[in-house]
Chains A and B, each alone.
Chain A
Amino acid sequence: MNRPSIGDDRHPPGRVVRLEAVSLSYGQTRALDAITVDIQGGCMVGLIGPDGVGKSSLLSLVAGARAVQEGSVQVLGGDMADAAHRRLTCPQIAYMPQGLGKNLYPTLSVFENVDFFGRLFGHDRRERERRIDQLLESTGLAPFAGRPAGKLSGGMKQKLGLCCSLIHDPELLILDEPTTGVDPLSRRQFWQLIDEIRVSHPGMSVIVATAYMEEAARFDWLVAMDEGRLLATGTPADLLRQTHATNLDAAFIALLPETQRRAHREVVIPPRTIQDAGEIAIEAEHLTMRFGDFTAVDNVSFRIPRGEIFGFLGSNGCGKTTTMKMLTGLLPASEGTAKLFGHEVDPSDMDVRRRVGYMSQAFSLYSELTVRQNLELHARLFRMLPDTIADRVDEMARRFELEDIMGMLPDALPLGVRQRLSLAVAMIHGPDILILDEPTSGVDPVARDGFWQMLSDLSRQDNVTIFVSTHFMNEAERCDRISLMHAGKVLVSDTPQRLAQQRGGGSLEEAFVAYLQDAIDATEVKPSNVVRASALDAAEASGHGATNSPRTHSFDLRRVSAYTQRESLELRRDPIRATLAILGSLILMFVMGYGINMDVENLTFAAMDRDGTTISRDYILQISGSRYFTEMPPIVDYDDLDRRMLSGELSLAIEIPPGFGRDVAHGRNVEIGAWVDGAMPSRAETVRGYVQAMHAQWLTERARQIYGNAATVGDFQLAVRYRYNPDLKSIVAMAPGVIPILLLIIPAILAALSVVREKELGSITNFYVTPVTRLEFLLGKQIPYVMLGMVNFLLLTAFAVFIFRVPFTGSFVALAGGAFLYVIITTAMGLLISAFMSSQIAAIFTTALLTMIPATQYSGLIDPVSSLQGAGAIIGRIYPTAHFVTITRGTFSKGLDLADLPGPFIALLVTIPILLVLATALLKKQAS
């Protein structure tokens, strides 16, 4: 089996990976503990063990996606801790991380996904199209080239993942649980595909992690792991011989340390004693569920007698979960009926629900409640009598072995224990029917067997009907009867033994594959041997392609544009982000334009004229005649004045005393009363200013009438020139100030999200393991947002000039040039912040906070930077918004052009390289 790798002299033939004392910790948790192992090249190596034992960590170290902490990781003849070696080898390694379609982009089509990877590896358009055509043809994805990756079935996603990995002819292919959750037929096809690729690439080594022991039996060499340590290595035959076991499941359990093994008991399910065969617990008749055009469940019928363990076997997305939801009343069926104990399931009938216990796919209890609180909450929601709850909770704790952990939070518990808790919760109200949706995925074999023993007891001792879905064949074999499900249809229902016998007498898996094949042949014309033939062609062709494999440049525009193009496509297909990107700033501009309005106009005022002479009316008239005030009906008395000011109806009340006209005429001292609503102090200040000015003006006016023109001559005059905005219109001042803020906050948030999104969704791995450099990655991400920023800038400026009618007096070229530099800076700020963030929601709020505060407080919007002191003054001098505010105000209102604004432009130009260098330096090319 050990074929030497061909035409490579950089590492000794035969060995592709060498690990020496490799350890890895995440905080307190030790994921890998002193692993030492050599992996031979040219063969297929399997990493086996349940979830969470460190398989994925190990593979990510080998792929270079994760930084080495302790020990040495040698891959393809070099040290993976060495960045230069990683850069050299990563075009020879392909890595497909765990999780269906984890490294794919769900909104991109099949073609676009593969195309993106092709660009990253520097193929030109012709080469890419040739390779993509062949890969899609050979994997049977060609008819779906235009379909978004997110809408593919699990099996197809994994094939697409494989296409993306194979685009660059890797020497080492690393697959992390590629077939978990995929139906047996697709699984088989997947392995066939791998076999065929290996035939045409004899030198290629494949390392696979898997939780399916059946699969592992076909590999050349196995590495068994548990709790971050090696259990054993060897060929499958070696392992079986070593443990005297008949299958790898048993062999694995035998390899476990004594302490763990002791807890294990062989699952014994006694045969069913048929007591009341007449009673049917669950009955489905022609159940159909359609979502739009898509039929998720198609005419499904079955009857399950009381106390039976009934298995539902099928791949992800075949309709298992939908059927279960219809049985529980979660979803009303489009057609057909579901009956529980002879009563039709009615989503609004709460009593039916009390007879059913449900356990969903993932652990879905409240992680913020303790084990006891979870049990108690569910007991109460099921309306158990309050005085019986405590006893029942204790009983469940005993039965499901939870007594020691009643006060703990579920997150702190191992997966196997959490599954027991889920089962206890599902059983708390003593239901007659238990519906379990893939209850054991990810649970280790020992815990899984313990779990099945509990199910057996519930069925046999308590006569509970159990409806369970699974994709593990050995679990299906433990059911009394099973249904095979595919594409919404039940293919066949019978006992596992009889099904296996009927189709060639082989294993249950053989039978399932045979039934699937029939179902597919009946609906599709395309037989699988066509697929195989073309796969060979493709593999051959891509073998030739390897000779013109592109060199790795230190900076490659093609890789930059790969990210730019992908980022724009993704943005366009995300409605909320796209809205924010295009309309967000316009909406906010509109809101701020009207919301931060400092023109105080149409203020309500009313007068209490207790004089009623021409002079008093004249005084009131000059207030009501101004554009600032709107007169309301006169005030009747003091109570009226109080009431109307209390309710906020009046902003200003004027009282003219009796005898006012007479006193004025006689030059006697007289006082006019004025009350301003002080609830909103800034408005009150303005009102006060207006009233004082009008009062003074009225006095001058009166004086002129009485004493003639001589009286108007004062000692001196103060001529106020309101420059740049002679009408003192708020919007003229606001718009040039708002544009810098909006061009800061939204592009910065979007740029930060573009990186953090990848971190959160896992596709950042593609950056870790492909030859793209940090600067290429950042620039590729930045370019679309800079362009978007410029579009926003044009929209905002047009909005200010044409809608808000803000006069534009300076040089547009200067403004646009400044805006271009400024959005490069703001997007770079977002990228810089993204280096410190790992969750999108934190990135949104942090970016908003970090950018907004300096922009609004210290950038000269309110107080000029020149009047700031201390830290504020320093921020104001270096913060780019301050400089851009000078440019917008200068060009909008002050009639300036480029030559008048050298300072701000130089400042912006200097900032760009600083930010980009910082962002690049802080971005990590590996997970840590």
Chain B
Amino acid sequence: MRTANIVQLGMKELWGLFRNPMMLMLIVYAFTVSIYTASKAQPETLNRAALAIVDEDKSPVATRIITAFNPPYFAIPRLISQTEIEGRMDAGLDTFALNIPPNFQRDMLAQRTPTIQLNVDATRMSQAFTGAGYIQSIVTDEVSEFLARYRSTAPLPIDLALRARFNPELNKGWFGAINNVISSVTMLSIILTGAALIREREHGTIEHLLVMPVTPFEIMASKIWSMGLVVLLAASVSLVFIVQGLLSVPIGGSVPLFLFGTALYLFAMTSMGIFLATVGGSMPQFGLLLMLVLMPLQMLSGATTPRESMPQIIQDIMLAAPNTHFVILAQAVLFRGAGLTVVWPQFVALLVIGAILFSFSLRRFRAFLR
């Protein structure tokens, strides 16, 4: 093994990337526009939710309730009749239907405890639960305010002081931005190295390299460091200028610590890129493989939904994927400001997984060159 060869070949990879406008555009897009839009376009749980109201009371309190629902959380409620509820919900037109019964105000003032019915389309999981909670509290508030003119209510003796740590406003844009940095790192580390190898094979240059005093190890190492470096640089620039700068997402922990973890992660992922390229052999095959590999890795790593809610067996299997550890590490460092004392197990795991993937890919790569 000669370091000079690895350096020279890596420089060649960088030139190759520099002269490939498509790839450059992909890198720039993935680390700027994609992150910006992912942050800005993170949907609020409730965004103009479709609510229909059946007002059979037509009393002041009913009007009060109807006018309380406004954008951005709710679309202006559509007033429908009792008979329409069924059909509209079946057709998926309304997510929520609120039914204010006849004589609601009168019964309430007479302390007969009337019942408002709320129908929720529970096939819209993301909105059903939270939306029902919002509607409940809006209705309760309106009714209480209305009743306050008639009598005073006793305060609750026990308060719950509920605070969200690390993201007090629960701003989803923060999460979307950082999450997108993670997925861009994952995607590009595999695509860049895999494409670099396949390009050499398709142009026949890989054979040419092999008759020179260069070993497969040097060829693979050169692709790993050069493409890894590009992704690392792009990720750091994007973290500083796009995430912290443009989107003003506060970063809890140390950026250098995160980048160190990213470097370890890139070592593992670029090795995986080489492996997939040897399996695919050509660009189209590699593209199809990516679809089958990237999506499961991303989704099950805990980046989008918490690992705890997945079945135990999937949680265990996913411990073998570098993504899982990187996601844990990134969320701990970037959101919670954790230090090395907290995330060192992830560093060790990434190093071990990376070493295994590297040696495995190297063996595949040697066989591939035959």
A residues engaging B (CB < 8 A)?
A: 328-331, 350-351, 353-354, 356, 358, 360-369, 373, 377-378, 380-383, 409, 435, 576-577, 579-580, 584, 587-588, 591-592, 594-604, 643, 645-648, 651, 664, 667-686, 688-689, 691-693, 695, 699, 702, 713-726, 728, 730, 732-734, 736-737, 749, 753, 757, 760, 839-841, 844-845, 848, 860, 862-867, 869, 885-886, 889-890, 893-894, 896, 900, 903
A733 and B300 contact, CB distance less than 8 A: no
Residue of B nearest to A362 (CB): B204
B348 at the interface (CB under 8 A from A): no
B213 and A353 contact, CB distance less than 8 A: yes
B94 and A691 contact, CB distance less than 8 A: no
B160 and A869 contact, CB distance less than 8 A: no
Considering only residues 270-313 of chain B, those with a C-beta below 8 Å from chain A are 280, 283-289, 291-292, 295-296, 299-300, 304-306, 308-311
A713 and B113 contact, CB distance less than 8 A: yes
Assuming A720-B120, A721-B117, is B305 touching A597 (CB within 8 A)? yes
CA distance A577 to B127 in the complex (A): 37
Assuming A695-B160, A717-B115, is B300 touching A867 (CB within 8 A)? no
B366 to chain A, nearest CB (A): 11
A664 and B133 contact, CB distance less than 8 A: no
10 A-B residue pairs with CB within 8 Å: A595-B300, A596-B305, A604-B308, A682-B172, A691-B160, A719-B115, A723-B120, A848-B291, A863-B48, A894-B90
B308 and A864 contact, CB distance less than 8 A: no
B300 and A716 contact, CB distance less than 8 A: no
B63 at the interface (CB under 8 A from A): no
A725 and B288 contact, CB distance less than 8 A: no
CA distance A900 to B306 in the complex (A): 38
B246 at the interface (CB under 8 A from A): no
B89 at the interface (CB under 8 A from A): yes
Closest 9 CB pairs of A and B: A595-B299, A678-B167, A725-B122, A840-B284, A678-B164, A364-B204, A350-B213, A733-B125, A679-B335
B237 at the interface (CB under 8 A from A): no
CA distance A353 to B300 in the complex (A): 47
Task: List 18 additional contacts besides A674-B162, A716-B143; criterion CB under 8 Å.
Answer: A361-B204, A373-B12, A377-B12, A380-B8, A576-B289, A594-B300, A594-B310, A598-B305, A643-B342, A646-B337, A671-B161, A678-B166, A679-B331, A693-B133, A720-B120, A844-B291, A886-B92, A894-B123
CA distance A862 to B165 in the complex (A): 27
A592 and B299 contact, CB distance less than 8 A: yes
A478 to chain B, nearest CB (A): 24
A719 and B288 contact, CB distance less than 8 A: no
CA distance A894 to B328 in the complex (A): 39
Contact of B170 among A587, A672, A685, A713 (CB under 8 A): A685
A682 to chain B, nearest CB (A): 7
Task: Count contacts between A and B, CB distance < 8 Å.
Answer: 359
B338 and A716 contact, CB distance less than 8 A: no
CA distance A723 to B96 in the complex (A): 10
A99 to chain B, nearest CB (A): 16
Considering only residues 323-359 of chain B, those with a C-beta below 8 Å from chain A are 328, 331-332, 335-338, 342-343
Contact of B208 among A365, A643, A669, A757 (CB under 8 A): A365
CA distance A596 to B209 in the complex (A): 45
In the complex, chain A residues whose CB is within 8 Å of the CB of B166: 677-679
In the complex, chain A residues whose CB is within 8 Å of the CB of B19: 368, 409
B79 at the interface (CB under 8 A from A): no
Residue of B nearest to A647 (CB): B342
Considering only residues 120-145 of chain B, those with a C-beta below 8 Å from chain A are 120-130, 132-133, 135-136, 139-140, 143-144
CA distance A693 to B47 in the complex (A): 23
Residue of B nearest to A437 (CB): B207
Contact of B120 among A599, A667, A677, A721 (CB under 8 A): A721
B8 and A715 contact, CB distance less than 8 A: no
B115 and A718 contact, CB distance less than 8 A: yes
Residue of A nearest to B310 (CB): A594
In the complex, chain B residues whose CB is within 8 Å of the CB of A867: 47-50, 75, 95
A672 and B8 contact, CB distance less than 8 A: no
CA distance A754 to B157 in the complex (A): 69
B92 and A860 contact, CB distance less than 8 A: yes
CA distance A294 to B227 in the complex (A): 38
A369 and B16 contact, CB distance less than 8 A: yes
In the complex, chain B residues whose CB is within 8 Å of the CB of A382: 212-213
B33 at the interface (CB under 8 A from A): no
B207 and A364 contact, CB distance less than 8 A: yes
CA distance A93 to B345 in the complex (A): 70
B333 to chain A, nearest CB (A): 10
B94 and A647 contact, CB distance less than 8 A: no
B106 to chain A, nearest CB (A): 12
- In this complex, which of A329, A364, A667, A885 has the most chain B Cβ atoms within 10 angstroms of its Cβ? A364
In the complex, chain A residues whose CB is within 8 Å of the CB of B117: 718-719, 721
In the complex, chain B residues whose CB is within 8 Å of the CB of A720: 118, 120, 132, 136
B113 and A602 contact, CB distance less than 8 A: no
A157 to chain B, nearest CB (A): 20
Residue of B nearest to A574 (CB): B285
Residue of A nearest to B8 (CB): A380
Considering only residues 202-247 of chain B, those with a C-beta below 8 Å from chain A are 203-205, 207-215
Residue of A nearest to B85 (CB): A723
B356 to chain A, nearest CB (A): 23
Residue of A nearest to B134 (CB): A689
A763 to chain B, nearest CB (A): 15
In the complex, chain B residues whose CB is within 8 Å of the CB of A714: 113
CA distance A720 to B118 in the complex (A): 5
Contact of B15 among A368, A664, A672, A753 (CB under 8 A): A368
B59 to chain A, nearest CB (A): 12
Contact of B292 among A350, A584, A647, A716 (CB under 8 A): A584
Assuming A368-B16, A591-B295, A646-B342, is B129 touching A866 (CB within 8 A)? no
B28 at the interface (CB under 8 A from A): no
Considering only residues 31-56 of chain B, those with a C-beta below 8 Å from chain A are 43, 45, 47-50
In the complex, chain A residues whose CB is within 8 Å of the CB of B9: 381
Assuming A594-B310, A730-B125, is B207 touching A360 (CB within 8 A)? yes
A588 and B207 contact, CB distance less than 8 A: no
CA distance A702 to B204 in the complex (A): 78
B314 at the interface (CB under 8 A from A): yes
Considering only residues 54-111 of chain B, those with a C-beta below 8 Å from chain A are 75, 89-95, 104, 108, 111
In the complex, chain B residues whose CB is within 8 Å of the CB of A598: 125-126, 305
In the complex, chain A residues whose CB is within 8 Å of the CB of B165: 645, 675-678
B256 at the interface (CB under 8 A from A): no
B296 and A591 contact, CB distance less than 8 A: yes
CA distance A602 to B123 in the complex (A): 22
Assuming A360-B204, A840-B283, is B162 touching A716 (CB within 8 A)? no
Assuming A595-B305, A728-B125, A844-B287, is B48 touching A718 (CB within 8 A)? no
B134 to chain A, nearest CB (A): 10
Residue of A nearest to B203 (CB): A364
In the complex, chain A residues whose CB is within 8 Å of the CB of B331: 648, 679-680
B208 and A360 contact, CB distance less than 8 A: yes
A330 and B207 contact, CB distance less than 8 A: yes
A330 and B287 contact, CB distance less than 8 A: no
A646 and B338 contact, CB distance less than 8 A: yes
B287 and A841 contact, CB distance less than 8 A: yes
A736 and B123 contact, CB distance less than 8 A: yes
B265 at the interface (CB under 8 A from A): no
In the complex, chain B residues whose CB is within 8 Å of the CB of A360: 204, 207-208
B94 and A864 contact, CB distance less than 8 A: yes
CA distance A689 to B130 in the complex (A): 7
B48 and A580 contact, CB distance less than 8 A: no
CA distance A75 to B47 in the complex (A): 65
CA distance A714 to B342 in the complex (A): 48
B336 and A645 contact, CB distance less than 8 A: yes
CA distance A358 to B209 in the complex (A): 10
In the complex, chain B residues whose CB is within 8 Å of the CB of A839: 283
Assuming A369-B16, A678-B167, A685-B45, is B308 touching A587 (CB within 8 A)? no
CA distance A841 to B199 in the complex (A): 13
A674 and B104 contact, CB distance less than 8 A: no
